Amino acid sequence: MVERLDAVVEAALKSMVRDLHTSVWCRREREIVNLFVLGHLIALCGANGVLHDPMQIGIEAAVPQLPGRGGHRKKPDVCKDIVIWPAPYMTCWGRDGTGRVYPLSVLEWKSLNVQDRSSSLSRKRREHQGRPPG
């Protein structure tokens, strides 16, 4: 299942990169996330695929927070840029509002933008260092 989802996400990323290369654009992270989901990922939803309904996709959706180094965190959940759930209408909470439901995938974006302040740009560049090319 994960391999099939990886293939869908990869195809959406390739489509978006082609789109970005052929258009004039200046977008912040939020606009890139929305462009990816609304313009490219949703188009790949298919009735028989792992991503079969647009309602499996969340933008700025909460996911259970993983334990910190001390074994616990202040908050039980954290918002992520893009979350893909196994089924439509899912959230990180169980039916009764409690519980820990984990998604199929979490996509977190970092976008370098000409509008970034120098401190933000420096921080983002540090975050990018040491990461394998994407």
What pLDDT does residue 134 have?
Answer: 44
With cut-offs at 50, 70 and 90, classify the pLDDT of residue 130.
low
- Residue ranges of the alpha helices (H) in 1-134? 2-22, 29-36, 118-128
What pLDDT does residue 71 have?
Answer: 64
What pLDDT does residue 84 have?
Answer: 97
Q: Which pair of structure tokens corresponds to residue 92?
A: 């990180």
User: Cα-Cα-Cα-Cα dihedral of 61, 66, 72, 74, to 10°?
Assistant: -20
| 67/61 Cα distance (integer angstroms) | 18
Q: What is the pLDDT of residues 3-49, one digit of tens each?
A: 899 999 999 999 998 888 877 667 788 888 999 999 999 999 998 88
Q: Which of 14-23, 96-105, 119-128 has the lowest mean pLDDT?
A: 119-128
**Domain residue ranges of the chain, discontinuous segments joined by +:** 2-126
Q: What is the pLDDT of residues 64-74, one digit of tens each?
A: 987 776 666 67
DSSP helix/strand/coil, 106: strand
Please measure the distance between the N-terminal and C-terminal CA atoms of the chain and give it in whole angstroms.
Answer: 21
